């Protein structure tokens, strides 16, 4: 209770700041965090999962409406098999834990969506994902996207294929294709593009994350490894975003 009170007292005052509506987070640095401590890489992923839960709940508490967390990319399958297996087990545990905390999840009002190619995931994880999405479908306090087996280029290709199929069937003419048509075929269709993308761990690249949607996103980078990322770090990112002038190509 004491810790919860302290966290509440530290809550960012959003009264006079421009709060991002949609925040994307590239959760990076779990392996390096583990290496620095001489523990297996999966320990870093486990700690990173705890931080994901804490930051997600905190962001919802201060009023962020949409969150997208980059959890596992299409390229991450090339990691050592034991590390991939450990990450998949963490997803299972997260989904099963959510199933056991239905009442708490009701209070959080969190709607879960898993974006990415499910065909490459273990069948039991896909079943748990579908169950979590069904059970949170009526929630609207905060929308949380978890990018799992996700790749931004593959996402765009998938949208283009849907449009090509419509053209082939005579439902659409090539000259009629718009940016909205491509956006409508993405995993995030119906959601606003991310205003702010946070990347910890000292890396300065987008890593195939929300490539189409991030055309005008603001970026915030930090040297902090993801397992060490705190609500204070999240506040710094939000405050930095609030002070920027977003011109969207216009003269500011």
Domain ranges of the chain: 20-153+192-242
Q: Which of 28, 193, 195, 235 is catalytic?
A: 28
145 forms beta bridges with 68, 113
Cα–Cα separations (whole angstroms), residue 225 to 31, 79, 157, 197: 9, 19, 32, 16
pLDDT, tens digit, for every residue of 151-192? Answer: 999 999 999 999 999 999 999 999 999 999 999 999 999 999
pLDDT, tens digit, for every residue of 220-245? Answer: 999 999 999 999 999 999 999 999 98
Q: Which of 18, 61, 76, 228 is catalytic?
A: 76
pLDDT score recorded for residue 28: 97
* Mean pLDDT of all residues belonging to the chain: 92
Tell me, rounded to whole angstroms, the distance of Cα 50 from its chain centroid: 14
Residue 7 pLDDT greater than 90, yes or no: no
What is the pLDDT averaged over residues 94-108?
74
What is the pLDDT averaged over residues 63-87?
96
The Cα–Cα gap between 160 and 158 comes to 5
CATH class, 20-153+192-242 region: alpha beta
pLDDT score recorded for residue 251: 57
* 245 part of the active site: no
* 76 part of the active site: yes
- pTM for the complete prediction? 0.92
């Amino acid at each position: 209770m004491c810790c919860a009170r302290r966290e509440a007292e530290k809550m960012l005052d959003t009264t006079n700041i421009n709060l991002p509506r949609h925040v994307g987070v590239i959760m990076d640095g779990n392996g390096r965090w583990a290496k620095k401590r001489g523990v297996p890489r999966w320990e870093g992923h486990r700690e990173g999962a705890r931080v994901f839960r804490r930051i997600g709940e905190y962001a919802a508490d201060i009023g962020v409406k949409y969150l997208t967390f980059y959890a596992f990319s299409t390229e991450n399958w090339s990691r050592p098999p034991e590390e991939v297996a450990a990450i998949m087990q963490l997803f299972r545990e997260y989904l099963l834990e959510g199933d056991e905390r239905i009442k708490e999840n009701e209070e959080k009002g969190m709607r879960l969506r898993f974006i990415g190619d499910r065909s490459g995931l273990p069948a039991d994880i896909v079943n748990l994902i579908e169950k979590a999405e069904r059970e949170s479908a009526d929630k609207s306090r905060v929308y949380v996207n978890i990018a799992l087996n996700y790749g931004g280029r593959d996402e765009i290709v998938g949208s283009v294929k849907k449009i090509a199929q419509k053209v082939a069937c005579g439902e659409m003419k090539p000259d009629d294709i718009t940016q909205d048509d491509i956006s409508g075929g993405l995993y995030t269709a119906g959601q606003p593009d991310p205003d702010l993308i946070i990347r910890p761990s000292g890396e300065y690249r987008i890593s195939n994350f929300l490539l189409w949607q991030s055309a005008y996103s603001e970026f915030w980078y930090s040297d902090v490894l993801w397992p060490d990322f705190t609500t204070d770090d999240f506040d710094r990112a939000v405050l930095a975003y609030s002070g920027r002038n977003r011109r969207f190509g216009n003269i500011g």
